[in-house]
Amino acid sequence: MLSGKQVLVNKVSVYNGHPDCIYTMIPSNKPNTFITSGADGMVVQWDLFTHNEGILIAKMPNSVYALSLVNEGTQLMVAQNFEGIHLLDLATKQELQTRALGNVAIFDFAILENEVLVALANGQVLKLSLPSLEIISQVRHSEQSARRFAQHPNFSGLAAVAYSDGVIRLIETTNIQVVEELQSHTNSVFALRFSPDGKYLLSGGRDAKLKVWDAENRFALIHDIPAHLFSINDICFHPFKPLFATCSMDKSVKVWSAESFKLLKVIDKSRHAGHGNSVNRLLWTTTDELLISTGDDRNIHLWKLSL
């Protein structure tokens, strides 16, 4: 159990280069690299050990909320808000395919075997084929935005979808039909993640609460934690240890035990020279087990946590 252990935090580095808020971040296809994008439309690849020398992959005319690697990491899918989806070759940076989706924000992707699910601000979830990006099917289970996907690590046909109506809908990915609804948060659900073993589903939202659902017991609610002061934007699990982190509009990153769900550490500006604005995304790397955080202050922070 990690609950009684002290977590030491060391800030390894700070990257900057984006001129506007950063909204999304994913691991890249090369070792020690990751990709960010946001309000400036710039899609940038960073190296963990080459500070402030990001490589520009693409520049979109509008903001970007979602990125995803496809085709074994050789291609990058980019969601350009109010326009559509772009499929890029990462090696050549050339555009391979596009799909116009109209005047709507695109919040998230979920990659299936030869298909992708797309969450839209108009409440729709689309299923597109890969790599053609042809629309296979579309559903609207809510009039409010579909925000985030969480794919079950053990059952490929099951995914959770977070919505702005405060409901988490569990869907079969084959037909995008709802199999269960969780009346979860009082308003928008922004963060959603299955634990690596698939036992729990974690959610966070505008109500600043962290909720833990028992995925092995019909998704019964087992923890309802007032975790932050403002909206929870992301949840990220450690790649090896029973830890996870949350980040928030309250400018903090918090580290938790994935066994007891007790708070272990708060990383913020006053204590660790952390972020000065909303923290929007987290990524925990397998390389040196570094925790990366980024957000509205346009900075990317690298943290080393020791137990």
Q: Is the pLDDT of residue 3 over 70?
A: no
Please tell me the number of Cα atoms within 13 Å of 216 on its side-chain side. Answer: 7
Q: For residue 215, is it within any domain? A: yes
Q: For residue 64, is it within any domain? A: yes
Q: For residue 3, is it within any domain? A: no
Q: Is the pLDDT of residue 238 over 60?
A: yes
Check: CB of residue 286 under 8 Å from CB of residue 34.
no
Local confidence band at 49 (pLDDT 50, 70, 90 cut-offs) = confident
Q: Is the pLDDT of residue 104 over 60?
A: yes
What does the pLDDT average to over 272-292? 95
CA distance 226 to 246: 12
> Per-residue pLDDT tens for 11-29?
999 999 999 999 999 999 9
What does the pLDDT average to over 141-146? 97
- Percentage of the chain with pLDDT > 90? 93
Q: Is the pLDDT of residue 4 over 60?
A: no
Q: For residue 196, is it within any domain? A: yes
Check residue 162 and give its pLDDT. Answer: 98
Range of the domain at 205: 8-306
Check residue 174 and give its pLDDT. Answer: 94
What does the pLDDT average to over 176-196? 96
The three state secondary structure string of the chain is CCCCCCCEEEEEEEEECCCCCEEEEEECCCCCEEEEEECCCEEEEEECCEEEEEEEEEECCCCEEEEEEECCCCEEEEEECCCEEEEEECCCCCEEEEEECCCCCEEEEEECCCEEEEEECCCEEEEEECCCCCEEEEEECCCCCEEEEEECCCCCCEEEEEECCCEEEEEECCCCEEEEEEECCCCCEEEEEECCCCCEEEEEECCCEEEEEECCCCCEEEEEEECCCCCEEEEEECCCCCEEEEEECCCCEEEEECCCCCEEEEECHHHHCCCCCCEEEEEECCCCCEEEEEECCCEEEEEEEEC
CB atoms within 10 A of CB 92: 8
Check residue 50 and give its pLDDT. Answer: 82
What does the pLDDT average to over 291-299? 97
Q: What is the DSSP letter of 271?
A: H
Local confidence band at 2 (pLDDT 50, 70, 90 cut-offs) = low
Q: For residue 2, is it within any domain? A: no
Task: Extract the tokens encoding 307.
Answer: 């137990």
Q: For residue 123, is it within any domain? A: yes
Number of domains in the chain: 1
Q: Is the pLDDT of residue 152 over 70?
A: yes
Q: For residue 291, is it within any domain? A: yes
Q: Is the pLDDT of residue 6 over 90?
A: no
Check residue 270 and give its pLDDT. Answer: 92
Q: For residue 51, is it within any domain? A: yes
The CATH number for 286's domain is: 2.130.10.10
Residues 6+ apart with CB under 8 A from 274: 11, 251, 252, 253, 267, 268, 293, 301
What does the pLDDT average to over 270-279? 95
Residue where the block lists tokens 């990125």: 67
